[in-house]
Copies of this chain bind each other. A is one copy, B any other.
């Protein structure tokens, strides 16, 4: 029984297979349209996350399977005091695979221990969100052809952004990836990430202004900087524009630099950038469906 709880659960080789499958799906969706006939996905969302939930549901429906589940805890048995361990044993009787979103870190891992069906962590608190990382990896690989030899700028709130941490931890497994970490001082990546980068002899740089590093980037991964993360209002006002991507900043970038964003975006990418051919954040959503299709097939053992 294989689960996906952490983006690092797959080896680089397994990941390559998964991403190859996702690519094949994107090229020949019709070929897979009955691959999961008669299979059921349970979406167990203890907190709402429409984008992620619907991406899983679209993935399963594209494979010919069907979907059941709940979209928030108050319409679930959680409110009756049932443990996640019991819930997953019940759900194991209803579905063939499940995607669980939970506000508590580790809940999907607890579930996986008692589950008779594959469990996909669809986000557990501030901890992990592995299918976002798979989406990010597929997007970079499809846009650039490979996950080796490039410079990625990660911009915004690098302290609390779990997608950023997961992406860094995944990308250090590839060759010659250079990181430029762009954030206010208060929102720098945690020390343990820096330690990991050092231990793995990965090239990195920490900077405060996006503008200055734009020309170096092959990939720019944007995230939101929330006002309430700042200790002090003056600091926020001084710096907020550093982290807003607009046409001016795009003009400084390479012609084949791509912009990614895990969405939802609020105002950190100006809408004027949307029509730039280098804006890849909506393409990323589409890749997210393909990679989840590949994941479902893989965990159900239907990938061969």
Residues of chain A touching chain B, judged by Cβ–Cβ distance below 8 Å, are 33, 38, 40, 42, 48-51, 54-55, 57-58, 61-62, 66-72, 74-77, 79-82, 85-86, 89-95, 263-266, 271, 282, 285-286, 288-289
Q: Are B81 and A264 in contact, with the CB atoms below 8 A?
A: yes
Partner of A90, one of B51, B68, B76, B85: B51
Partner of A263, one of B57, B61, B82, B263: B82
Q: In the assembly, how many copies of this chain are there?
A: 3
Nearest Cβ distance between residue A271 and chain B, in whole angstroms? Answer: 8
Contacts of A282 in B (CB 8 A): 89-90, 92-93
Q: Are B68 and A58 in contact, with the CB atoms below 8 A?
A: yes
Q: How far is the CA of A95 from the CA of B62 in the complex (A)?
A: 10
Nearest Cβ distance between residue A70 and chain B, in whole angstroms? Answer: 6
Q: Are A67 and B70 in contact, with the CB atoms below 8 A?
A: no
Q: Are B75 and A51 in contact, with the CB atoms below 8 A?
A: no
Complex A-B, nearest 3 residue pairs according to Cβ-Cβ distance, in ascending order: A82-B264, A58-B94, A93-B286
Q: Which of A33, A93, A288 neighbours the largest number of chain B CB atoms within 10 Å of its CB? A: A93
Q: How far is the CA of A86 from the CA of B267 in the complex (A)?
A: 11
Contacts of A58 in B (CB 8 A): 40, 68, 93-95
Contacts of A91 in B (CB 8 A): 54
Contacts of A68 in B (CB 8 A): 54, 57-58, 61, 67
Q: How far is the CA of A74 from the CA of B20 in the complex (A)?
A: 37
Nearest Cβ distance between residue A80 and chain B, in whole angstroms? Answer: 5
Q: Are B72 and A263 in contact, with the CB atoms below 8 A?
A: no
Q: How far is the CA of A53 from the CA of B4 in the complex (A)?
A: 27
Contacts of A54 in B (CB 8 A): 42, 68-70, 90-91, 94
Nearest Cβ distance between residue A244 and chain B, in whole angstroms? Answer: 15
Contacts of A79 in B (CB 8 A): 48
Q: Are B40 and A61 in contact, with the CB atoms below 8 A?
A: yes
Q: How far is the CA of A76 from the CA of B92 in the complex (A)?
A: 26
Contacts of A74 in B (CB 8 A): 48, 72
Q: Are B70 and A285 in contact, with the CB atoms below 8 A?
A: no
Q: How far is the CA of A57 from the CA of B95 in the complex (A)?
A: 10
Q: Are A90 and B285 in contact, with the CB atoms below 8 A?
A: yes
Contacts of A70 in B (CB 8 A): 50, 54, 71
